[in-house]
Amino acid sequence: MKPAAFEYHAPRTVEEALSLLHEHQDEAKVLAGGQSLVPAMNFRLARPAVLVDIAHVPDLDRIEATDPGGVTIGARVRHLDLEHNTIAGPLGSLIASTGRWVGHYPIRVRGTFGGSLAHADPAAEWCALACALDAEVHCRSASSERTVGAGDFFEQMAFTTCLEPDELLVGVRLPRLSDSCGVGMAEFARRWGDFAIVLAVTAVERDGDSITGARIALGGVAGGPVRALNAEAVLNGGPATAETVAAAAAAAADEVDPTGDIHGSADYRRDLVRTMVTRALDQALA
């Protein structure tokens, strides 16, 4: 369990990082918190010839308020900083309650938000959150710059995004949630800190007792994070009642097409979708 030989670079600026990526193309990998990449290298599942460590690149570690209520999260903001964020309103509390579920404390100390999105584990909490909120992902290469919506960023294949080999994810913008927006996060894993078998992130806007805009993202049920669009449709315009929640949860369980693994068969995951969606919606409507 030792990595294959590699070259290591620690650039001091974004430009330097981008030019290294440009030079080495798919020979190179960005090293952020190392909490996914290093284990993969030790197992020799990943064998990059060149590592570009962004630990010393300035400015990527900031959480900045953008337009009122929205934020931009720098690529190497740590999970722990998000768990303890000071972002106001429902967005801040959704980020905090989602962050708690990412791995264990030592992993949250090192692992980064951008690393999680770039790694694109189908059961990653941050990927589901980005998907639920239609995050905008800022990507840069030596020669170009673009902003990609979460829906296009994640490919529906595990560990696959639209990032080009020479591109760096620099930051992610999350939109404002209104003060009355209800949020919820429910996850089931075998042990505390494990990757989810199934997780659900919800954000529900309401006008009195009727639901005006529901967002539900699921993890652990497909190649990437997915929106439960049918379930959202059941909720939108409906009354905020237990019956609506039950119908939405059933719709979510219906619309997913999970594959099984040793921690849970497809059937079990589908069954858990109903439970997790129910629980996340119960929180959002509480």
Partner 1 sequence: MTTGVRWTGRSLRRFEDPALVRGLGRFVADVADQHRGTLHAAFVRSPVPAGEIRSIEAPPGAPVLTAASFGGIRTMCARLDRPDFVALETPVLASDAVRHPGEPVALVVAGSRAEAEDLAEQVVVDIEATRPVLDAAAATDPAAPTVHAGLDMPMGNNVVLDARFATEGLDAAFEEADEIVALDIRAHRQNALPIEARGAVAAHDPATGRTTLTAANQMPHMLRTALADILDIGEAELRVVTPEVGGAFGQKMCVPREYVALVAAARLLGATIAWIEDRSENLLASWHSRDHSYRLRGAFDRRGMLLGLDADIVCNIGAYSNYPVTFGVEPLMAMAELPGPYRLSQYRVRSRAVTTNMCPIAPYRGVSRPVLTLAMERLMDTAARRLDLDPVEIRRANLVREFPYAMPTGLPVDPGSYVETLDAAVEALDLEGFRRRQQQAAAEGRYVGVGFSVFGERTGYGTPAFAARAMEITPGYETVQLEMNPSGDVTARIGASPHGQGLATALSQLLADELGVEPRHVSVVHGDTDTTPYGWGTFASRSMVIAGGAAKLAAERLAAQLREIAAHQLEASPEDIRLEDGSAVVAGTSVGVTLPEIARIAHHSSHLLPAPMEPGLSVSATYDPGGTFSNACHAAVVEVDPDTGHVHLERFVVIADAGLEVNPMIVEGQIHGGVTQGIANALYEELVTDDDGNLLTASLMDFLPPTACEVPQIEVTHLQTITDASITGAKGVGEGGAIGAPAAVLNAISDALSPLGIEVDEMPATPARVRELIRRAQPTTTGGRT
Ligand X SMILES: Cc1cc2nc3c(=O)[nH]c(=O)nc-3n(C[C@H](O)[C@H](O)[C@H](O)COP(=O)(O)OP(=O)(O)OC[C@H]3O[C@@H](n4cnc5c(N)ncnc54)[C@H](O)[C@@H]3O)c2cc1C
Question: Which of 86, 143, 191, 208 contacts partner 1 by CB under 8 A?
Answer: 191
**How far does Cα 83 stand from its chain's mean position?**
13
Residue in the structure block whose two tokens are 């929640």: 245
> Does 190 contact partner 1 by CB under 8 A?
yes
Of 12 and 190, nearer to partner 1 (C-beta) is: 190
Smallest gap from residue 235 Cβ to ligand X (A): 26
Of 254 and 263, nearer to ligand X (C-beta) is: 263
First to last CA, the chain: 48
Residues 41-60 that bind partner 1 (CB under 8 A): 43-44
Coil, strand or helix at 86: coil
The entry of partner 1, ligand X, none that residue 119 binds, CB within 5 to 8 Å by partner kind: ligand X
Name residues whose C-beta falls within 8 Å of residue 23's C-beta, 6 or more positions apart in sequence: none
The entry of ligand X, partner 1, none that residue 103 binds, CB within 5 to 8 Å by partner kind: ligand X
> Does 115 contact ligand X by CB under 6 A?
yes
Per-residue mark of binding to ligand X, 50-79 (x: CB under 6 A): ----x--------------------x----
79, 111 contact by CB (below 8 A): yes
> Does 154 contact ligand X by CB under 6 A?
no
> Does 171 contact ligand X by CB under 6 A?
no
The entry of partner 1, ligand X, none that residue 279 binds, CB within 5 to 8 Å by partner kind: partner 1
Beta bridge partners of 203: 183, 215
The entry of ligand X, partner 1, none that residue 33 binds, CB within 5 to 8 Å by partner kind: ligand X
DSSP 66: -
Smallest gap from residue 262 Cβ to partner 1 (A): 5
CA distances from 200 to 19, 132, 154, 215, 250 (A): 38, 9, 17, 10, 14
Of 112 and 244, nearer to ligand X (C-beta) is: 112
Per-residue mark of binding to partner 1, 222-261 (x: CB under 8 A): ------------------------x--x-----------x
DSSP 50: E
Residue in the structure block whose two tokens are 């369980």: 253
Q: How far apart are CA 245 and CA 162, in angstroms?
A: 34
> Does 5 contact partner 1 by CB under 8 A?
yes
The entry of partner 1, ligand X, none that residue 70 binds, CB within 5 to 8 Å by partner kind: none
Q: What is the DSSP string of 145-190?
A: EEEEEHHHHB-SSTT-BS--TT-EEEEEEE----TT-EEEEEEE-S
